[in-house]
Amino acid sequence: MTVGLHHFLALSAVLFFIGLYGALSKRSAVLVLMSLELMANAVNVDLVAFSRFVTPATMAGQMFAVFSMVVSAAEIGLGLALVLALYRATRSVEVAAMNRLKG
Amino acid sequence: MLRQGKWPTASPKEPAQARPLRRAPATKGVARPPWRRRAMAETVNGIAFWLLAAAALLCAIQTISTRSVVHAAFWLLGVMLAVAGLFLLLAAEFLALVQIMVYAGAVTILLLFTIMFTLRSREDALRPLDASMGAGALSALLLGIVLVGVRGFAAPAAVMPAAAPGTADLGRVMLTTWALPFEVASVVLLAALVAAVWWTRGGED
């Protein structure tokens, strides 16, 4: 029972598309942000797996995963701040209510 | 402690029952030839991978399908912990720790705070199952395409390379080769967090 790069790629693909489905179908902005985090995690699994199997010496994939984590931390901070601002303006977190720039 | 390479034997002074029932704590490399050890490590890796993958997928599906927003956040925490386990399996110890601290700690707490700030009643935490045929069909189609691509992908290394550099090497790379992007990333994070504070302050321009 040996684990190859393909296993990690397939797992990450399934995780990513579960996240994509959530991001497309959810109506609550918080749940959409959670789905985005799922997708970011799937990509990180890919990056680290490539780092382990393809470039174990330079660790480039791991560095990319670090940057991906930074970006997704910034994204979740800003996204949740926007959700709070939207909630303050419209008393709702529905994505359908986010069709105006000024509440 | 056993000396290297010595199996526990009943010394003439002791009665035969004194011999420990369980095998001695593995004296490295004496009991099994190296190829056996490698095969065994691969089996352990395989079992760990399948367990972690099953946990991640189960938690991800629950995140999407549970009706309670708060429960969704906790299932997402499960996904993140399983991914941290996968990082450990891939010999990325530093990233596993960062994953636990940043995602499982900070991001989950941010999500929970936002959920609770935006709930007006207990019923707000429960949401209808918003299933969407279009989103499902699109995701399934793209997943199928990507899985076919993965199947046809020629992996550069069939098995996991045995030697992996550790956290010290990652730190060295981070502060030499990647020093400039690393600094830029921290500035980006700072700017994003300042912007987040500015956004939530709201109202008074």
pLDDT digits (tens, 9 = 90+) for B185-199: 999 999 999 998 888
Tens digits of residue pLDDT in B66-96: 989 999 999 999 999 999 999 999 989 999 9
From chain B, the residues in CB contact with A52 under 8 A are 90-92, 160-161, 164
CATH fold, domain B38-120, is: Four Helix Bundle (Hemerythrin (Met), subunit A) (1.20.120)
High-pLDDT (> 90) share of chain B, %: 47
pLDDT at B30 (0 to 100): 55
C-alpha B82 chain-centroid distance? 4
Provide the pLDDT for residue B10.
46
Q: Which residues of A touch B116 (CB under 8 A)?
A: none
Contact indicator for A28, A95 with CB cutoff of 8 Å? yes
Would you give the DSSP letter of residue A62?
H
More reliable by pLDDT, A73 or A101? A73
Q: Which residues in chain B have Cβ-Cβ distances shorter than 8 Å to A32?
A: none
Query: What does the block give as tokens for B46?
Result: 């395989």
Model confidence at B34, in pLDDT bands (50, 70, 90)?
Answer: low
Neighbours of B28 (CB within 10 A): 10
Mean pLDDT lowest among A67-76, B8-17, B154-163? B8-17
pTM of the model as a whole: 0.82
Q: Is A100 helix (H, G, I), strand (E, B) or coil?
A: coil
> Which among A32, A44, A90, A102 is the top mutation candidate for probing chain B, defined by the most B β-carbons within 10 Å of its own β-carbon?
A44
Check CB contact under 8 Å for A53 and B156: yes
- CB nearest A67 (choices: B63, B181, B199): B181
Q: B79 and A62: CB-CB below 8 Å?
A: no
CB contact under 8 A, B196 and A28: no
Q: What is the ipTM of this complex?
A: 0.92
- A52 vs A17: CA distance, rounded Å: 23
- For residue A96, give how far its alpha carbon lies from the nearest alpha carbon of chain B (Å): 13
A15 touches chain B (CB under 8 A): yes
B148-174: pLDDT as tens digits: 999 888 777 767 777 678 888 899 988
Report residue A92's pLDDT band, with 50, 70 and 90 as the boundaries: confident
CA–CA dist A69, B124 (Å, integer): 30
Burial of A99 (0-12, 13-18, 19+ CB in 10 A): exposed
B29, with CB counted inside 10 A (0-12, 13-18, 19+), is exposed
Structure tokens at B41: 């490590």
DSSP summary character for residue A28: B
Query: Which residue in chain A has the smallest CA separation from B186?
Result: A70
Contact of A43 with chain B, judged by CB distance below 8 Å, is answered with no
For residue B177, give the amino acid letter.
Answer: T
| Partner A contacted by B24 (CB < 8 A) | no
Predicted local distance difference test score (pLDDT) of residue B152: 87
pLDDT in tens, B96-121: 999 999 999 999 999 999 999 888 87
For chain B, say whether A11 makes contact (Cβ under 8 Å): yes
Contact state of B199 with A82 under an 8 Å Cβ cutoff: yes
Q: Which position has the token pair 């400039």?
A: B180
Q: What is the pLDDT of residue B24?
A: 53
Q: What is the pLDDT of residues A7-65, one digit of tens each?
A: 999 999 999 999 999 999 988 899 999 999 999 999 999 999 999 888 888 888 999 99
